[in-house]
Structure 1
Amino acid sequence: ETPQAHIFKADLPGINKEEVKVEVEEGRVLQISGERSKEQEEKNDKWHRVERSSGKFMRRFRLPENAKVEE
């Protein structure tokens, strides 16, 4: 927190910023959410393997009363 702003940082390895949704809900709640999908493929002359993983995430923070949510 600074005198001018409330700062939130999120470490989201493997996720592009386009895959992250940031919104302020009723009741002054900041919600950060998204979904990660990853596919890994390996193959050679004798075999072929594809692994897929995915997961959703969501985190909510109640904003202080002095936070300006309209800006």
Structure 2
Amino acid sequence: MATLLYNNLPALRPSRAFNAMLNDMLRDTLPAVNQPSTSFVPQADVLESEQGYELHLLLPGVAKDSLNIDFQEGKLTVSGERKAPEATENNPKFRRVESGYGTFARSFRLPDTVDVTAIEAQLTDGVLHLTLPFDQKKVTKHQIEVR
């Protein structure tokens, strides 16, 4: 038989959630980084609809002209660079760095059903939206009627 314990004395319950206390404790023990990194890996979301796939890459602060999107041998590669602000007299120096700077590259293997000639890319509000439509000429499912 299991014993359940319940603290019904609100004065003895912690006022903050356990996760928040644990995060604070770990954050204080980890060394603070005060120099920007030289590379990072952007986060990606992949969505699928009837028309094809959508790929969303989070690239805050990345300029359009520093992005490269290539397709070779069945692999789509998005690469580029997010430059860190330089510490000068006018710019303040870094005290803590939690965001990613430097070069990045993400590769995705695409199925044969994607029409690579119709891929579109748009960068808005720090999110790169790639539209990967299905090739209507290639059929992946086909029901064959028995006569």
1:42 Cα deviation from its structure 2 partner: 5.4
Unaligned runs of 5+ in 2: 1-47, 95-100, 119-147
- CA RMSD in angstroms comes to 2.5
Secondary structure of the corresponding residue to residue 61 of structure 2 = coil
Cα distance in 1, alignment partners of residues 115 and 92 from structure 2: 50
1:41 Cα deviation from its structure 2 partner: 4.2
1:67 Cα deviation from its structure 2 partner: 0.7
Give the TM-score, by structure 1 length.
0.71
Structure 1 or 2: more strand by fraction:
1
Percent of residue pairs bearing the same amino acid type: 32
The number of aligned residues is: 65
Q: Are 1:24 and 2:75 counterparts?
A: no
Secondary structure of the corresponding residue to residue 59 of structure 2 = coil
Matches within 5 A, 1:2-21: 2-21=49-68
Structure 1 or 2: more helix by fraction:
2
1:6 Cα deviation from its structure 2 partner: 1.3
Whose Rg is larger?
2
Report what 2:83 is aligned to.
37
Shift in alpha-carbon separation, 1:8–1:49, aligned structure 2, 3 A:
closer
1:70 Cα deviation from its structure 2 partner: 2.0
